[in-house]
A and B are shown apart, each in its own frame.
Chain A
């Protein structure tokens, strides 16, 4: 059989994701892409792929699959109980699989979304510049669908040489500090913070908010103290950036994520800073968040430091 893996059980929601389909938001396309971008990158780097290649994103419960060829793989993100041929299999390091091996990824013990990268990558044609799956539009990935049992996912071979040596990310560099269920998220107030009362802003920046089960790739829906607006929660529809915190008439905030609609008519009280988005991606229903405001200037500094850190990580792997 050609180089591929066979899906034995797909898990709750497993999709192919990459860095996202950017450049089409003006036409109404959500960018999609991995919710936990740094975890996706690390998974790729561990197997010798370039960092933005498509990987499998598993939600809450992982997949089981059989390898139809020898390959290397790596798992990052949520701590999911993974076994290769029944033996425990560590995350954040390069793993080897032989033809006929079976990988079973169980439910998430810490965090929400796990990533599986395979050396060489998946053999998928990009749609509009990206392999990210958009379930809403049936676009990208494997025919725009989530994985189901029996799917055979072709791998890219030959050509892309995979990492021969085993790589491992040391504990202190892993990105799981957010997985402990009670986190602080930094944001920049606005673009419509003036639509809220002083009391409303104070509530937003002090009250703990609980993640509801309605949260998904479109948005992290929160519940807690009601945020008071001055004069209604509706605005003339405008563009929605990644991480925007919308407050609809319920007064409960929603953080807009990868599958968000591109435009919307609810007030946006704040925007989560890019370096903190992946923490949100790992929240499970019942976890709590509190929001802290940073100035827009500070946020841009933090962004630059974050990008530098990602680049340094890439460089470290290249040198490895």
Chain B
């Protein structure tokens, strides 16, 4: 594996048709490569170069939609290259936020918790302690509105997906699928092992900011009791923020 490839060198630019281009920083999933994607994206968000319409940051690359009537491809690539070289991965580090998400684990809230524990020769309490013991980096959002691809799930609780996916998983379900963990932002079908439930809605169309977090932010899960879950749910219903944000 070329672990550090792209972390020091200049990015590679590739056209995607006539009005999109991809800026590629590497070929492996790694926080330092993702930080460069986030840094360039932050710089574009802050001060969009002429002709840039929209960006989609992902694990190792940034998709840039632009208007070829306003800026030439070569000129835009040059500008983005200069920005990226100047930026490095500093900006992303400065803008880091950690969202603390309350989760009620096990029982009716996470019916697969016993399986996840048994599969990994752990107790349920150990699974919860491991799951809540790390900050997870949001590498990218995609698949569904507000669905975060998180990195950093501890190897000790990796668990294969269900053989028969569920046809409906409620919004707010917290699950483990292979080496990944995450929150279902919308009720949807899915094959992940459900270990808990959060009253937080990563996607709420009626909220001022419909999507709670961005790529580059971090998530930390906090275990709560069924009683606290009920209280937080009621607060969430009333439109209150039931998550906590830590900066820096």
**Residues of A with Cβ closer than 8 Å to B?**
22-29, 127-128, 137, 139, 187-188, 190-191, 236-244, 261-264, 268, 271-274, 296-297, 299-300, 302-304, 307
Contact = CB atoms under 8 A, between A and B. Distances in A.
Given A241-B17, A303-B18, 8 more contacts: A26-B41, A27-B214, A28-B146, A128-B210, A236-B28, A239-B61, A271-B16, A300-B73
B145 A137 contact: yes
Nearest to B62: A239
Interface of B: 14-20, 22, 27-29, 41, 53-63, 65, 68-69, 72-73, 140-147, 149, 185-186, 203, 205, 210-211, 214-215
Contacts of A187: 17
Given A22-B53, A239-B58, A296-B73, A127 B205 contact: yes
A303 to B, nearest CB: 4
Given A25-B56, A239-B63, A262-B56, A191 B145 contact: no
A263 B56 contact: yes
A24 to B, nearest CB: 8
Contacts of B141: 26-28
A99 B111 CA distance: 57
B60 A300 contact: no
A26 B214 contact: yes
B142 A237 contact: yes
B142 A303 contact: no
B18 A296 contact: yes
A219 to B, nearest CB: 15
Contacts of A304: 68-69
A29 B145 CA distance: 5
A26 to B, nearest CB: 5
B73 A239 contact: no
B14 A190 contact: yes
Listed residue (A128, A238, A262, A272) with the most chain B CB atoms within 10 angstroms of its CB: A238
A280 to B, nearest CB: 13
A307 B66 CA distance: 14
A261 B17 contact: no
A239 B56 contact: yes
Contacts of A128: 205, 210
Contacts of A263: 56, 58, 140, 142-143
B145 A27 contact: yes
Given A27-B146, A302-B18, A303-B18, A238 B65 contact: no
B25 to A, nearest CB: 11
Nearest to A144: B205
Nearest to B45: A26
Contacts of A243: 17
A128 B140 CA distance: 21
Given A273-B18, A274-B17, A299-B17, A238 B61 contact: yes
A238 B142 CA distance: 9
A27 B65 contact: no
B180 to A, nearest CB: 11
Contacts of B65: 22, 25, 241
Contacts of A297: 73
A129 to B, nearest CB: 11
B59 A28 contact: no
B149 A26 contact: no
